[in-house]
Every structure is written in C-alpha cells, then in structure tokens.
C-alpha cells in the first residue's frame, strides 16, 4: 500500500518547492518517491522543474484533481507500476478547494486498499495571509479571499511557509492568528526554499492517517465565480541570440509586473528557463512582491528555452498579450529576439467534480 500525501495551498504558496524538499527528505530515509502535479493548462512549469531534479513525476493537465479524479488515480497507478514508490506526493491546482469531499472521501471509498491517506496539508503564503487578515478586519473579502479561506478551513495541517522572509514577531503573530481562527488544524512553520521545517512535516505526515471529518460547507457558485475571475496563461518560447539569462528573467518579470493593473490580484507568475548547462525557476506571487529565484544563474546563454505560467485576475487574452510583449521587450533589450512563441489563455470553467461525498 502506498502512502498518499496531498499538499494544497493557494497559488504561489510554495507547494512545488515543498514537494521537492519533502521528496528529498524521504529519499534520504531510503524511501522511494513518486509525484503527481496538477494544472488547468497544458504546459506545466512545476512538472518540468521536478523532472529536472531527476524525480519521477506525472501530471494531470487541463483541470483540477477533483474534476479529473479518475485520471489522478490512473497516474498514481502508473507511478506505482513503474517505480513502486513508498510515498506518493501530489499537488492540486492552487485555486482548488473542497478536497476532502472530492478527493479524500472518494479515495477512501473506492481505493482504500491501494492508498493510505495522510492528513490534508495546506501551505500558507504569509504575504497572502497578511492581506487576508487585513481584508477580514475591514470586512472587504475578495473572490480570491473566498478560495483562500476555504483552503484554510478544511486543512488538517497548516504549514506557514516562507518564514525566512519574516521577523520572528511577524511569524508568531500570524501563527497566533491561525491558532485562534482555525483551532482544529495542526500548525507548523518553516521555509521550503531553505529546507526549514520539512523534516518535521514529513515525519508527521508519514506517521499519521487522514481522519474522517465533515465535508466543507462551500457555495459552488461563489467557488466558480472566483475561479472564473482568474486569467490563466501558459506559454513556451526560445530566445535567439546571446543574453544574460538572469537579466532577461528579471526584465521579463518586471515588464509583466508593470503591465498588470495595480488593482488586479497577481496570484502567481512563474517560469522555468533551461539552457545548455542547466535550468532555474523564477516566481512572483504578489504585485508588490520580490521576484524569487534569480541568483546569477549559470545555465549558459544559448539556446535558452522558457516555459511560463501566469495566473492573474485580468482578461486571459490580455494576459497572453502581456506575456508575449514582455518576452519580446526583455529580449530586445539585449539585442536578441523571441522565437517559437506558443501560448494559450483561458478562464477556468466551473468546477464539476464527478464524486463529491
């Protein structure tokens, strides 16, 4: 029987970085690991990122786990057949919630002999949590806040991530707020990027089992409207010409940021750049946040290929145009140009899980 660990959390919470760190913890223990990523689109930065680290990873594309439950089971079985993993790590779409009713309970009802479920873990971005607390105090919750709130409500374990960016007093204030407002869940903290707190999280999940509990009380119309507010853009391109890859990435992200309206929710902008000598991943999760992952990457300067995923509350077609224009501008600034640009953009359809228990 495989142990199945599902790590949820809002867009940009650091789920993929956490899965990478958790996989490395389990591998160091001598356990075999397999991973399944998930996205509404067809080109997944997360899958490429995990595969580039040599991990066995499959993905469910074109919709969330809850709406593609049978495909999720197929991918888990395929991993089991190919690699016989002891631990299966899975990462649902960042705008997805209601996982207990649509994934955990169906898994227990139909596949209890195959998978042992660990408690539902939700990664929490401290910047988004701070903004959510502010909106709560003002009484001005947004559509994105509704999704975030529901993720917090159904978690068994809330892991406050990115604590390397916080002062101790800030961290303790946020943990204290979570303890008061979501007392039923276990609270842990750390930094997936710094491998802080993951040993403790892995030990807890490896030794615990998901306990039955009531399904989330959720308004599916509000859920659908919130998801539909997000524009999703996935793109791939190559850079023709010699460029400084770190400078290109910084310029590209800044041009994208500057093109996003200040009243829009820049939920997540991420990209993986691959060159002849390696790769690096870059991310931005708030309009006023810091671009993460640019540390003088040594990947060679030609050819460079990119995969970009952007999730912003703006019209999808406009978002796609912004990504294309930003790539062109960053390349032209160094006397290069973009080739083979391919992209698609859309707003997610209403969630329609085949099983809700």
- Name the residue with tokens 């809330």: 158
What confidence score (pLDDT) does residue 289 get?
87
Note whether residue 355 is domain-resident.
Answer: no
Q: Based on the domain organization, do 127 and 6 belong to the same domain?
A: yes
What confidence score (pLDDT) does residue 127 get?
94
Q: Based on the domain organization, do 280 and 207 belong to the same domain?
A: no
* Residue 125 tokens, joined: 């971005």
What confidence score (pLDDT) does residue 309 get?
96
Q: Based on the domain organization, do 338 and 278 belong to the same domain?
A: yes
Longest dimension (CA), the chain: 59
Q: Based on the domain organization, do 263 and 284 belong to the same domain?
A: yes
Q: Based on the domain organization, do 212 and 268 belong to the same domain?
A: no
- Name the residue with tokens 């640019």: 294
Task: Tell me how far CA of residue 203 lies from CA of 84, 88, 159, 163, 198, in angstroms.
Answer: 20, 14, 14, 20, 8
The span from the CA of 30 to the CA of 36, in Å, is 20
User: Where a domain ends, among 224, 249, 274?
Assistant: 224
Note whether residue 287 is domain-resident.
Answer: yes
What are the average pLDDT values for consecutive 10-residue runs of the chain, which has 357 residues?
96 96 98 94 86 96 94 97 97 96 98 97 97 96 96 98 97 98 98 97 95 95 95 96 94 98 95 94 91 83 92 97 98 97 94 96
Note whether residue 253 is domain-resident.
Answer: yes
Q: Based on the domain organization, do 175 and 288 belong to the same domain?
A: no
Listed as own residue / partner, the contacts of 317-325 with beta carbons closer than 8 Å and 24 or more positions apart are 317/345, 318/231, 319/231, 319/232, 319/233, 319/345, 320/233, 320/235, 320/344, 320/345, 322/256, 322/259, 322/260, 323/233, 323/235, 323/256, 324/235, 325/255, 325/259
Q: Based on the domain organization, do 13 and 141 belong to the same domain?
A: yes
Q: Based on the domain organization, do 149 and 269 belong to the same domain?
A: no
CB-based contact 126:162 (threshold 8 Å)? yes
What confidence score (pLDDT) does residue 259 get?
98
Show the domain range for 93: 2-224
What confidence score (pLDDT) does residue 300 get?
82
What confidence score (pLDDT) does residue 141 get?
94
User: Where a domain ends, among 177, 200, 224?
Assistant: 224
| pTM of the model as a whole | 0.95
User: Where a domain ends, among 173, 203, 224?
Assistant: 224
Q: Based on the domain organization, do 320 and 209 belong to the same domain?
A: no
CB-based contact 239:246 (threshold 8 Å)? no
Q: Based on the domain organization, do 172 and 290 belong to the same domain?
A: no
Q: Based on the domain organization, do 72 and 139 belong to the same domain?
A: yes
* Residue 164 tokens, joined: 């390397």
Note whether residue 109 is domain-resident.
Answer: yes
Q: Look up the CATH number of the domain holding residue 267.
A: 3.30.70.360
3-class DSSP state of 286: coil
Q: Give the count of domains, the chain.
A: 2
What confidence score (pLDDT) does residue 295 get?
77
- Name the residue with tokens 């960053």: 330
Q: Based on the domain organization, do 150 and 12 belong to the same domain?
A: yes
Q: Look up the CATH number of the domain holding residue 54.
A: 3.40.50.300
For 148, which DSSP code?
A: H
């Amino acid at each position: 029987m495989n142990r199945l660990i599902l790590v949820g959390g809002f867009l940009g919470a650091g789920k993929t970085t956490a899965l990478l760190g958790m996989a490395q913890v389990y591998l160091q223990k001598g356990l075999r690991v397999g991973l399944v990523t998930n996205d509404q689109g067809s080109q997944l930065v997360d899958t490429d990122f995990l595969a580039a680290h040599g991990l066995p990873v499959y993905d469910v594309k074109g919709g969330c786990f809850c709406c593609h439950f049978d495909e999720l089971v197929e991918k888990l079985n395929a991993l089991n057949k190919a690699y016989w993993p002891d631990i299966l790590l899975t990462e649902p779409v960042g705008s997805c919630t209601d996982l207990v009713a649509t994934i955990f309970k169906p898994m227990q009802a139909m596949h209890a002999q195959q998978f042992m479920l660990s408690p539902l873990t939700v990664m929490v971005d401290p910047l988004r949590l701070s903004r959510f607390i502010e909106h709560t105090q003002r009484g001005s919750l947004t559509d994105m806040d509704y999704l975030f709130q529901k993720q917090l409500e159904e978690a068994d374990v809330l892991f406050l991530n990115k604590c390397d960016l916080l002062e101790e007093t800030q961290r303790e204030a946020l943990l204290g707020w979570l303890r008061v407002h979501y007392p039923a869940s276990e609270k842990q903290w750390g930094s997936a990027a710094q491998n802080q707190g993951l040993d403790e999280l892995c030990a807890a999940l490896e030794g615990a089992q998901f306990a039955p509990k009531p399904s989330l009380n959720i308004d599916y119309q509000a859920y659908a409207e919130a998801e539909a507010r997000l524009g999703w853009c996935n793109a791939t391109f190559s850079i023709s010409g010699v460029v400084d890859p770190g400078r290109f990435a910084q310029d590209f992200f800044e041009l994208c940021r500057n093109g996003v309206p200040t009243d829009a929710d820049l939920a997540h902008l991420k990209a993986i750049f691959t060159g002849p000598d390696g790769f690096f991943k870059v991310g931005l999760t708030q309009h006023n946040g810091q671009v993460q992952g640019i540390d003088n990457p040594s990947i060679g300067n030609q050819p460079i290929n990119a995969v970009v995923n952007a999730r912003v509350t703006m019209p999808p077609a406009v978002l796609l145009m912004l990504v294309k224009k930003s790539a062109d501008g960053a390349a032209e600034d160094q006397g290069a140009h973009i080739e083979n640009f391919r992209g698609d953009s859309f707003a997610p359809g209403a969630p329609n899980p085949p099983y809700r228990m």
